[in-house]
Structures are given as C-alpha cells and as structure tokens.
Copies of this chain bind each other. A is one copy, B any other.
Amino acid sequence: MVIDCHGHYTTAPKSLQTYRERQIAELDSGSRASTRGDLGIGDDELRESVQPQLTFQRDRGTDVTIFSPRASAMAHHIGDAVTSLHWSQHCNDLIARVCGLFPENFVGVCQLPQTPGVAPDNCVEELERCVTGLGFIGCNLNPDPSGGHWTAPPLTDPYWYPFYEKMVELDVPAMVHVSASCNPNFHTTGAHYLNADTTAFMQFLTGDLFARFPTLRFIVPHGGGAVPYHWGRYRGLAQDMKRPPLTELLGSNVFFDTCVYHQAGIDLLLKIVPVDNVLFGSEMVGAVRGIDPETGHYFDDTKRYVDAAAVSDEDRRKVFEGNARRVFPRITARFAVAP
C-alpha cells in the first residue's frame, strides 16, 4: 500500500473561493456575518473536483492520500479568530465529505482556526471535532499565522502546549505547514514554505519539547526544507550546542516527507536521513503542476524518485506505508494492514 501523507484540496469547486471572497469583502466593509453561512456545494461537484487526484493516484500507483484543505488558502492572517473558525470549519467539512465519498482514496487532516496574536488554545475544539467527529487523523499546524511576519512564539514555547496536549490525547500528529505569505519578501511556495520547514526543524533541535511531550509527532514537509542538504551543518550545530545527535533528536517525533521534485534530492534525503523518519508525500495537486522536460514526467510524481532510489525494498515499504502508520496511528482504523 502506498500512502501519500501530503495532499491538499487545491481543486475545490469555485464556490469555496467565492465564499472566501465574500467573507473577506464583509471584513473590509465592517459588516461581518456572525454566522458562518453555507457553501452550497453538492456531492456531484465534489466528486467531479477530485477527479485529478483520483487519476493521479491511479496513474502513479498510489493508494490513499492524507488529504487536507489547500494550505496557501488557510491565510490565517486574514480577519480574526471568528473569520478563521468559520473558514476552517467549511474547509474541514468539505474534506470530510470528500473522504466520505471516496473512503478508499482519502483520509482527512484538518486546517486549524489559528489567528495572529491568539494562542492556539482556540484550536483545540476544532481539532477534537475533526478527529472524533469527522474521522480525521491529523492536522496542519501553522507556525506563522501572520503569513510571513513571524510574530508567534517558536513551536517549542509553552504558548503551544495546550494544543499539543490535545494532539497527544487524540494521538494525532501535525504537519508543520505555513500558508500564503503576505510579506513581499517571501514567495509562498518558493520561499515561505521551505523557510518554515527549516525554521521549525531548528526550533525542535534547540528546544526540549519532546522531553515534555514524548509522543508528540510533527511532519516537517517539503523534504524538511533545507535540512537534509545541510545535514552536516545541523549535525555540527547540534554538536557545538551540546545537543544529542540528530538521529536521536528526530527519534519518533520529527519526520520529513518526500516532497522533493528531482531524483538527486530524493537520493540525498534517503541516503542521509534515517529511513524511519521519512514519509512518502507528493503535495499533489500542489505547488508545481508541470511536467519536467528532462524526464517527461510530472515534477511532483515523487513516487518515481522513491522507486528509483537505492534503498532496500523493506525500507521503501517503510517510506510508502509503515512510517505513515506509525505517525498517523488512526489511519489503521480506516485502512487495515494487509494480512
């Protein structure tokens, strides 16, 4: 079985965007609705909207996608906590409906109603609703709800602890995933995403979060940002700072996905990072949508790179399935391990 741990609903029906635009317009006009309103999206529209993902799954030979709302559209920096809650609930409900329509193909991960300056305690309820009510198996946690101004405390700060306590209680991991950048310095998918990955990893390296929360688990997406390429730098920094070796720091707490869009990058990732800490992911349909003229295949068809990497079949199975089951234990209630 091949589990893609990183897929966003980037092909949602247009009405979702229309809702969001109306929500933002109401903010601007000061006439914000106090109720969250309806999307008015039918099941047929939903079925139609995920045909690209289903086709890619079939063509590429993957089985199930751990599916979450479009990351760049979370835009936690827009409006306030109520804006974010209404928007998150709608986005999460759509994911739940897609997962209900195609239970063999998708399992849900939720967006959180984060907002700048508000402690993530306010996200506990939505996480609980999604996990216990909608059958979701994880969440996307934004380390920078300000959208590129980085005004929240580091992920190792007690600011985040109440949310982590709920994650631990529910036994769900978080993918550390920022949203769109509203800082003109940072291109969203070409800089902000990767910077956030690198930043979060270094926060984990310097903090003692996992001594306090030994079962807390994070996926650092996009292949871990700059980290595997600079593995020597991080090993050296950890050593200079008298921190444990990186392999120990990763342990069963920090994982990278395989959203790296060329063979040499995946080769480096799988050569350098302990295989137990790598989860297959493609970010499909996502950041890069074209076909690589050098290979004739989609840039984000990461399964091809993992298939071609010099690792044992046993290790490849870990990357494709086994590790995802450890990190997202709730997936096994939905997809039993093959006998």
Say how far A226's CB is from chain B's closest CB, in angstroms: 4
The count of chain A contact residues (Cβ–Cβ below 8 Å) is 58
Interface digits, A93-120 against B, CB 8 Å rule (1 contact, 0 not)?
0000000000000000000000000000
Interface digits, A142-166 against B, CB 8 Å rule (1 contact, 0 not)?
0110001110111000000000000
**A153 CA / B185 CA spacing, docked (Å):** 7
Is B237's CB under 8 angstroms from A189's CB?
Answer: yes
Query: Which residue, A144, A148, A268, has most C-beta atoms of chain B within 10 A?
Result: A268
For the complex, is A19 an interface residue (Cβ under 8 Å from B)?
no
The residue of chain B having its C-beta at the shortest distance from the C-beta of A295 within the complex is B232
The residue of chain B having its C-beta at the shortest distance from the C-beta of A152 within the complex is B185
**Contacting residues of chain A (264-320) with chain B, CB-CB under 8 angstroms:** 264-265, 267-268, 271-272, 287-290, 292-294, 299-300
Given A191-B198, A264-B271, A264-B272, does the pair A292, B236 have CB atoms closer than 8 Å?
Answer: yes
Residues on A close to B: CB < 8 A?
Answer: 143-144, 148-150, 152-154, 183-187, 189-191, 194-195, 198-199, 202-203, 205-206, 222-223, 225-226, 228-237, 239-240, 260-262, 264-265, 267-268, 271-272, 287-290, 292-294, 299-300
